[in-house]
Amino acid sequence: MKNSIPNAAKISPTDFVIFGGGGDLSIRKIIPALFWRFVDKQIDSQSNIIICLHKKTELETILNLIKPHTFNSIYLSKTLQNNWKNFHKLLSLITLDLVTGEGINDLILLLNKNLKKKQICIFYLAISSNLFETTCNLIRKSKLNFTHSRVVVEKPIGFNKQSAIEINENLYKTFKEEQIYRIDHYLGKETVQNLMALRFANTFFENQWDNKNIENVQITVAEEIGVADRISYYNEYGAIRDMVQNHLLQLLCLVAMEPPSYFDANQVRDEKLRILKSLRSLSDSDIQTGQYQGYENEFGKPTNTETFIALQVGIDNWRWAGVPFYLRTGKKLSTRASEIIITFKNKPHNIFSKLKDFDKNNDKPNMLIIRVQPNEGLRLKLTSKEPGPGGMRFFPSELNLSFNETFVERLPDAYERLLMDVARGNQTLFMRLDEVLAAWDFIDPIVDKVKSKPPQLYRSGTMGPEDKILIRNNHEWIDPKE
């Protein structure tokens, strides 16, 4: 097992209340994340984790569900075994019906003992958005919306702009904006945070980060799996609402945003908002949709829902005018990978082009490849001279920073970082309401354009339908590689 993470600042004692505590998100991500923060001593024994379940469940059952997502049980050190046992002491299970409110008194009793201490209380809504209103009403009527309370809500925040407004109006009845943490777990990934460090802590890159030096930007979020048991949800939302409205647009913002004056939550979010408001409206030719073969059989009837979407996006500002941003995401593709690829412009003149041994196939533009998942890291593609006395022969080479190979510490999951940011009151990596609404302003017209058009079929295990967008600009998709 890799070493613990050093310098992980301890948080104040906190009550974590997870609504939907028996659901997939809680079991696979939230509770394992809290365990590892406990292992690294960021969470201490004075904190509490209250798991709210729809039906009565034994603690041992929940632990058995969590364990496979927390660590490899084949290798379990004595220290980790002790940590696991001690972690159990933080857990409380209650049965709570979010519609009728039955069981709310159990939650009140658990939280009221820390009320006088003004202990931070985090409500995590790991539930469907159609339960947000009743859950927030329950919190407010039970007088649990303390000034030191915070609430975490998962994407998708709405089905369109109007529904996003309605959801947030319901949140505002119980919580203020500064208490609301709209989470996008992609922003908690180590590589995504390193993108900001790469840009704003290194003059080398930031000086090249514009339309004078960059040819195009590609953002790919590829999934090998299909929709599985999410078929009813997915057929309603599709790839555009499920992935582009949040993950891909947030990654685009971090690539394209201007440097904030300081690394401050509102300043960072102000710059992201400016990018979202600068996105050019798309024409039909900027959009390509696909659907994997067999999807309609899974759904049970014909449907135009897209399981693949590719976009060419333009940003109307001085820095990015003329630079295409290509976005794509899809299900049942050939690999599971998320990458941002910055392709730099080629040299205006190559002084080596008249040499006898010059091979134009090795004269490739520089690329910066930011691997978000899996195997997080950064790669810079360069041209180098072959070693030896054979003349000026060139070959493509790479500078490779693989986080797994470079750092001895275990890389924290995105939810670990984000949950600790909520506990500290740091909203930098969370979406503000105006960001959410600006994203829907861009997405809603795209949905309107594609909803009546049949998507192009593609075979599972490919990277989607044959490209119709990049080829117009003499560009091509660069597929993720291991």
What Rg value do the Cα atoms of the chain yield, rounded? 24
Query: In this structure, what are the phi and psi dihedrals at residue 129, rounded to the nearest 5 degrees?
Result: -65, -20
Give the alpha-carbon dihedral of 183, 155, 56, 109, to 10 degrees. 40
Query: Which pLDDT value is given to residue 1?
Result: 46
Residue 191, H or E segment? helix 190-200
- Going by DSSP bridges, is the β-strand pair 325-330/337-344 parallel, antiparallel, or unpaired? unpaired
Q: Are 432 and 177 in contact (CB under 8 A)?
A: yes
| Amino acid symbol at 315 | I
Query: Which pLDDT value is given to residue 372?
Result: 86
Q: Are 96 and 103 in contact (CB under 8 A)?
A: yes
Side by side, the strands of the sheet bearing 120-125 are 91-95, 48-53, 14-19, 120-125, 149-154, 180-183
Query: Which pLDDT value is given to residue 437?
Result: 97
Query: Which pLDDT value is given to residue 148?
Result: 87
In whole angstroms, what separates CA 45 from the centre of its chain?
A: 30
Q: Which two tokens stand for residue 121?
A: 């209380």
Residue 482's SS3 state is coil
Which ranges of 40-99 does DSSP label H, i.e. alpha helix? 59-66, 78-88
pTM over 0.85: yes
Residue from 185, 247, 349, 475 carrying the catalytic annotation: 247
CA-CA distance, 222 to 460, in Å (whole number)? 12
Burial category of 328 from C-beta neighbours within 10 Å (exposed 0-12, middle 13-18, buried 19 and up): buried
Residue 380, H or E segment? strand 377-385
Digitized pLDDT (tens) for each residue of the chain, 482 residues in all: 455 555 578 899 999 999 999 999 999 999 999 999 999 999 999 999 999 999 888 888 888 898 888 876 545 677 788 888 899 999 999 999 999 999 999 999 998 876 666 789 999 999 988 899 999 999 999 999 888 899 999 887 889 999 999 999 999 999 999 999 999 988 888 888 888 888 888 888 888 899 999 999 999 999 999 988 889 889 999 999 999 999 999 999 999 999 999 888 999 999 999 999 999 999 999 999 999 999 999 999 999 999 999 999 999 999 999 999 999 999 999 999 999 999 999 877 766 666 666 666 666 788 999 988 888 888 888 877 667 666 666 767 777 777 666 665 667 788 999 999 999 999 999 999 999 999 999 999 999 999 889 999 999 999 999 999 999 999 999 998 76
Query: Which pLDDT value is given to residue 147?
Result: 84
247 is catalytic: yes
Query: Which pLDDT value is given to residue 284?
Result: 94
| Domains of the chain: residue spans and CATH | 14-154 (3.40.50.720), 187-409+433-473 (3.30.360.10)
Angle between the 249-256 and 190-200 helix axes, to the nearest 10 degrees? 20
